[in-house]
Every structure is written in structure tokens, then in C-alpha cells.
Chain A
């Protein structure tokens, strides 16, 4: 699985990067590398069995209380 992930990332890099380098599109080049590295940073630990925390956890912590408050205001009896 790890080999496969690296191969996919490598293929995408081979497919996109040479043209960007030739045309001196440095911003595009940097963004492509950033996306691939971010993807690898998530995918490789997951493939090795290391738990990667989900980015939605902080979102849930921020927004779920608002939902619960709205619900409590609108539904007087807690429903199952």
C-alpha cells in the first residue's frame, strides 16, 4: 500500500511538474508540491497503521454546541 501511494504521488508529480518547471510557473509548481506533500502526510501514516486525527473534529467541537442550543430552544421535550 505504501509503495502504491508513493507511486501514485510520483506519477502525478511526473505528469505535472516538468511542464510547470519549463514554463517557469513557480507558484503552480509550489502549490502542486504542497498538495502532494499534504496528501502524503495523511496517506502514509494511515497506510502504516498510525491514526491521523480528522480535521472535522475541531469543526464538530465548534459547531455542534450551536446546533444543540438551537435544538434545545426549538424542541422543548428531548426526543429520542
Chain B
């Protein structure tokens, strides 16, 4: 048994909204330009292709969750690969998640600096974002899920409002010529969206805390489909409103919101979008921070994760400030390194874990047997965990 570090529970409905916020919060702002850089006017096809990896991740993660109901992704490695390789894998995931969260935090700060407050030092946004997210993460996944349930409908509403109000500016002709250079650029342009969509793999860290587990998979798959529809609509709108300049802008969706002007009366609605976007990204950072700290606690065999939340946030802020020296480096990383790195950690490693687990003959425990019947010698030999290893 892996000790339950959190003690909270969430419902599959909350999984649905958590997953959508995880991907949508930053995707909607940063991704359209990156996808458009390769795929040009076919950029709207990239979210469609990325859906496949999103669905695959949910399938793999929930299948692993079925085999090991009381473990999360930081614990699967220990069950499947043994204590040493497993701990090493958990440590690698901790470093990965910490780095990715530092980048997410930096994305938020860079956006605020670029479009709203160019004079304010970077560290102010980074530190405030981290404190808010850490406070939520310290409350546990239940708190994060509830905050998200409150924010999600408003964010969705603002997004749909922008979609509708921007329609008068849309020119469908800007989508042509269709597949001008063949499917190749679209496939390359899909790599980053795919890495982004597979951030749904964070589900693997709180899956044991979902109380109606049998519905977690359908909730996850529904979330991926739902976000794909929104992101495809967003990409279509970006290209139809901004045309070929989508790739040259940093934040196309935001520019679309800025362009909205209904009868010279309803305009400048972008602060509404900004306010809801910031809350939404803060929730995303909270989710990632929670997952990072849980992984750290498991990798070092601790019984509590809460004391680590603020110290880890301190490290996160420091890392976030030095990780890039400017926004161009951020875009370069997200468009050229993250597609490979993200897909590796979020799709490839979980899939390999599942394959190894199936080859080694792990079977899902029967319902009601409460994880006792995980009849494999490797697992039975290591029931207890070393009490506390720094």
C-alpha cells in the first residue's frame, strides 16, 4: 500500500473540469501562433490531430489506474520496475514537472508583461502566481478542484463570448489554400499541440483520489473531446480573423479579443478575458504544483506532502526567473524542445510502463478485494516502505 498523502476525494465531474483547465489555460494563448508557424492557414487542423494523443493518454493512464488502483504515476514505476528504477523514475518526473511548471509560471508572467504591465519586474508576477497556486495546492486536490469548478464556467463563458463577438471579423476565405504544402507541415505543427494535450497525463497523479473511479475514463475522454472542439474553434477563428499574421503574433487569441468592436460601442473587452485567464492559469499552476510536490514526497518516501508545498514554491519561483532570459527563448523551447520532451514524459513513458506491466503479467484486482489480490511476487515482496529516507 502506498500511503494516501492527500486524504481528499474528487468526483469524475471535477476530473472533467480539472483536465480542461490543465490544457486550455495556457494552450488557448500560446499555442495558436506556434502551430501556425508550421501549418500556416491549416493551423486549425493541428488541434484535431492532437486529440488523438490526448485520447491515447487518457486511455493509458486509466488502464494503469485499473491495474494499480491505489497508486499514482509516481508509484507505478516502483510497482512495475522495482524500488530503485521506480524511485529514479519518480525523481525524473519530479524534475520534469518542476521545470514544466516553472515554464508555465513564466508564460503567465511574460503574457502580463507583454500586454498589460511592461514596467513591472518579472519576479512580482512569478512570485504572486506561485503563492496563490501554492496556497491552493496545500489545501489538496479537493480544494484545487473546487476552485476550478467555480472558475471554469466563467472562463468558458468569456471564451464563448469572444468567439461569438469575433465572428463578424472572420473571413473564411483566409483558410485557403487548403493543405498547400501537403500534410507534412500540419504533422510537424501538431507536435507541440500533442505535447500540450497530453498534459492530461497529470490525471495519473490524482486518479487514486477519484471516488467514482469507473467513470474517470469517460470523464477524461469527454474532457479531451470537449477541449478539442474549443481549441479547433479557436484555431479556426484565429486564422479567419488574423490570416497569415497568426504565426507572427505572440498571443493570437488575445489579439482577436482586442479586435472585437461591435458598433463602436462594445469594444476593449480584453481585460475581461485577461482577468479570467489569470485565475485559470493560476489553477493550472496549482494543479502542476500539487502534482510536483506529491511526486517529490513519493520519490523520497515521505508521509506528508504539505510541508513541502511552500519550499517547493520558493524553488519554483527562482527557477522560473532564470529558466529563460527572454520571451523568444520561451517560444523557441515550447516550439522545438517541448514537443519531444513533453511527448516523451507524458505519452511514451506511461505507455511503456503499461506495456511492461502487461508483459510482467499484472492483472487488475477484482472489485471489492481492495488491492490485496495483486498477485505478483515483486509486489508482494515489498509491501512496506522504508519509513523515512531523505
Chain A interfacial positions (CB closer than 8 Å to B): 8-9, 12, 15-16, 19-20, 25-32, 34-36, 38-40, 42-43, 46, 52, 54-56, 59-60, 63-64, 66-68, 70-71, 74-77, 79
Contact = CB atoms under 8 A, between A and B. Distances in A.
Interface in B324-343: 324-325, 332-333, 336-337, 339-341
A31 B308 CA distance: 7
Interface in B272-306: 296-297, 300-304
Interface string B93-115: 00000010001000000000000
Contacts of A15: 310
Interface stretch (B216-224, B315-323, B362-370): B315-323
A25 B304 contact: yes
7 A-B pairs closest in CB distance:
A30-B390, A27-B388, A35-B311, A42-B318, A74-B184, A39-B315, A63-B340
13 contacts: A12-B311, A25-B307, A27-B387, A28-B303, A28-B307, A28-B388, A31-B311, A36-B314, A38-B315, A42-B319, A46-B322, A56-B333, A75-B38
B390 A39 contact: no
B324 A54 contact: yes
Given A27-B389, A28-B302, A60 B336 contact: yes
Contacts of A19: 307
Given A25-B304, A63-B341, A68 B336 contact: yes
A13 to B, nearest CB: 8
B243 interface: no
B187 interface: yes
Interface residues of B, number: 43
Contacts of B77: none
A38 B317 CA distance: 11
B322 A39 contact: no
A55 B319 contact: yes
A26 B390 contact: yes
B181 A75 contact: yes
B390 A31 contact: yes
Contact of B307 (A20, A55, A71): A20
B317 A39 contact: yes
Contact of B185 (A12, A28, A40, A75): A75
A9 B181 CA distance: 54
Contacts of B25: none
A74 B336 CA distance: 15
Contact of A54 (B300, B323, B341): B323
Highest count of chain A CB atoms <10 Å: which of B297, B311, B318, B319: B311
A60 B319 contact: no
Contacts of A9: 314
B38 A79 contact: yes
A52 B314 contact: no
A63 B337 contact: yes
A24 to B, nearest CB: 9
A26 B390 CA distance: 7
B48 interface: no
A10 to B, nearest CB: 11
A60 B185 contact: no
B256 interface: no
Contact of B314 (A8, A25, A70): A8
B312 interface: yes
A32 B301 CA distance: 14
A60 B333 contact: yes
Contacts of B321: 42-43, 46
Among B302, B324, B332, the most chain A Cβ lie within 10 Å of the Cβ of B302
A19 B303 CA distance: 14
Contacts of A71: 38, 188
A59 B95 CA distance: 12
B191 interface: yes
